[in-house]
């Protein structure tokens, strides 16, 4: 049981991704924090789209009391004021990393949901609040990060393996269409690194070509970002390590980590982490297990009553 807990907070960096690449750092830009969630909760993994002069930031919502993530959205105006926050997707399994794709005139979300045993793709029936399941793919990818090159789709993801492999191995899959069928690359894992290799945002276009941000977990989970250069994707995959980015100093006290880098037009989204002792967080796990035990006993009792 961990004594120190991670608490994340998404932030808007008032700079496009190209300016951040040129600076080689997240420091020196204006920051706008998104609403915090309370003493035992946080939001993380921001992905955003501008619609009707408002930035829609989709995030993981996590509460240590139940330890099961849901997907929410912060709607932010041009003055960076949050005008509405709402939960938009909830399942009986954990959700996080709400990757957003615009394709074929539709808006799609591909959240991390490996607990379900599948990769699930949702379509916005009414953006941004109403999402419906569009495809279930037999590929339990963690932090699936699809992108298109020419007429073909590719997807980086972390494998469902040991706790260490989930952080240090990077896999690749390909498909003729976003909805599949997806086929894992024959050379998986296409990248391994002890500091971390788990996707940390969409594949980006820089002056040097394609770049995938990945998590650096040297000091702790998501302690920073590495930029992985994608030199070749078709056939033999060639990847090269790039620069490192830490949480900006101006995000204090949330400077213990940064594990998402996601462009949204003229701004960029990140999440930053504070590690702190929380007595309530410390006892939340045994209390959660006790609640589950009681729920299980109650269900058995009801089933027994019904069968007599």
| Cα separations in angstroms, 188 against 38, 157, 183 | 40, 10, 11
What pLDDT is recorded for position 207?
86
Q: How far is CA 35 from the centre of its chain?
A: 17
Query: Using one digit for the tens of pLDDT, what is the confidence trace for 26-77?
Result: 999 999 999 998 889 999 999 999 999 999 999 999 999 889 999 999 999 9
Other C-beta atoms lying within 10 Å of the C-beta of residue 90? 12
Query: What are 241's two structure tokens?
Result: 């390590």
Other C-beta atoms lying within 10 Å of the C-beta of residue 173? 22
Backbone angles phi, psi at 141, to 5 degrees: -80, 140
Query: Using one digit for the tens of pLDDT, what is the confidence trace for 241-262?
Result: 999 999 999 999 999 999 999 9
Contact of 34 with 76, CB cutoff 8 Å? yes
Residue position matching structure tokens 């009707």: 52
Integer-rounded Cα radius of gyration of the chain? 20
Backbone angles phi, psi at 40, to 5 degrees: -115, 15
Paired residues of 205 in beta bridges:
210
Query: What are 166's two structure tokens?
Result: 């989930």
User: What's the rounded Cα separation, in Å, for the pair 290 and 265?
Assistant: 46
pTM score: 0.90
Q: Can you list the domains of the chain with their CATH numbers?
A: 4-298 (2.115.10.20)
Other C-beta atoms lying within 10 Å of the C-beta of residue 256? 22
User: What's the rounded Cα separation, in Å, for the pair 30 and 7?
Assistant: 21
What pLDDT is recorded for position 235?
80
Name residues whose C-beta falls within 8 Å of residue 120's C-beta, 6 or more positions apart in sequence: 110, 111, 113, 133, 135, 136, 137
10-residue averages of pLDDT along the chain (308 residues): 86 98 97 92 97 98 94 98 98 98 97 96 98 96 96 96 96 97 96 96 92 96 96 90 96 97 98 82 54 48 40
């Amino acid at each position: 049981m961990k004594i120190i807990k991670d608490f994340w907070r998404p932030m808007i960096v008032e700079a496009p991704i190209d300016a951040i690449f040129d600076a080689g750092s997240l420091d020196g830009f204006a920051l706008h924090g998104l609403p915090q969630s309370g003493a035992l909760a946080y939001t993380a993994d921001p992905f955003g789209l501008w619609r009707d002069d408002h930035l829609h930031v989709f995030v993981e919502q996590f509460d240590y009391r139940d330890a099961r993530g849901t997907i929410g959205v912060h709607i932010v105006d041009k003055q960076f004021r949050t005008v509405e926050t709402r939960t938009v997707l909830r399942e009986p399994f954990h959700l996080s990393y709400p990757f957003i794709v615009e394709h074929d005139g539709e808006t799609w979300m591909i959240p991390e949901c490996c607990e379900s045993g599948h990769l699930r793709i949702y379509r916005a029936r009414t953006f941004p609040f109403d999402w419906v399941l569009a495809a279930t793919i037999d590929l339990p990818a963690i932090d699936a990060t699809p992108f298109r090159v020419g007429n073909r789709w590719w997807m980086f993801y972390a494998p469902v393996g040991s706790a260490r492999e989930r952080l240090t191995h990077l896999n690749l899959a390909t498909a003729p269409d976003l909805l599949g069928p997806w086929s894992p690359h024959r050379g998986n894992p296409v990248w391994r690194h002890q500091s971390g290799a788990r996707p940390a945002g969409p594949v980006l276009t820089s002056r040097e070509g394609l770049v995938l941000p990945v998590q650096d977990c040297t000091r702790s989970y998501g302690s920073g970002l590495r930029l992985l250069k994608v030199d070749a994707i078709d056939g033999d995959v060639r990847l090269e390590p790039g620069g490192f980015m830490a949480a900006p100093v101006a995000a204090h006290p949330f400077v213990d980590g940064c594990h998402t880098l996601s462009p949204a037009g003229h701004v960029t989204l990140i999440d930053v982490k504070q590690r702190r002792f929380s007595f309530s967080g410390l006892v939340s796990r045994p209390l959660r297990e006790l609640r589950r035990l009681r729920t299980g006993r109650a269900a058995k009792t009801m089933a027994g009553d019904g069968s007599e």
